[in-house]
Every structure is written in structure tokens, then in C-alpha cells.
Amino acid sequence: MIPLPKLEPDCFYWATPKADRGAKAQIVQLSTIFGAEPEYWTVACLGSDEHRMRADFEFIVRIVPPSSRFAMDVAAE
């Protein structure tokens, strides 16, 4: 799991809601729609206009676009 201080804004993650332990992982985006400071970040659930608090989720892994520099460096190893 990724600790909340390690999350990056406007990135996509696989995450599970803490309230429903049996729920499947879903893709969410860490949104800055309410402000750029971390205390204003919310979790945007894809496919809806719903925003939740970061603490409501367990973040599993960041999703990296295939064209990003990070993905290219990992693929080169």
C-alpha cells in the first residue's frame, strides 16, 4: 500500500475503498479540483462525478502511462 504522504496529485492509482473490504480494486485519480495543497486533494472515482476523501481509500499502486519517462526507464532495465 502507498502511504498518503507519498501520493502525487493528478495521478491515477489502483485503490480499494476502506469501507468495503470485499470491494474490487478500481482506478481512481487524485484530484486537485478543490485546491493544489494536499489537504484539498480528493479522490475522483472514474465513471462518475463523485469525489471522496483520500483517507477513504487504500492506494495499491500508481498507474504510469506507457509513454512516460518512468515507464521507459523501467522497460529499459
Q: Which of 2-11, 22-31, 64-73 has the lowest mean pLDDT?
A: 64-73
Label residue 65 by pLDDT band (50, 70, 90).
Answer: confident
Give 3-state DSSP helix, strand, coil % of the chain, rounded to 5. Answer: 20, 35, 45
pTM: 0.81
Domain that holds residue 52: 4-76
User: What are the residue ranges of helices labelled H in the chain?
Assistant: 69-76
Number of domains present in the structure of the chain: 1
Is the distance from CB of 18 to CB of 59 less than 8 angstroms?
no
Label residue 47 by pLDDT band (50, 70, 90).
Answer: confident
pLDDT at 77 over 70: no
Q: What is the pLDDT of residue 59?
A: 97
Please state, rounded to an integer, the average pLDDT across all residues of the chain: 89
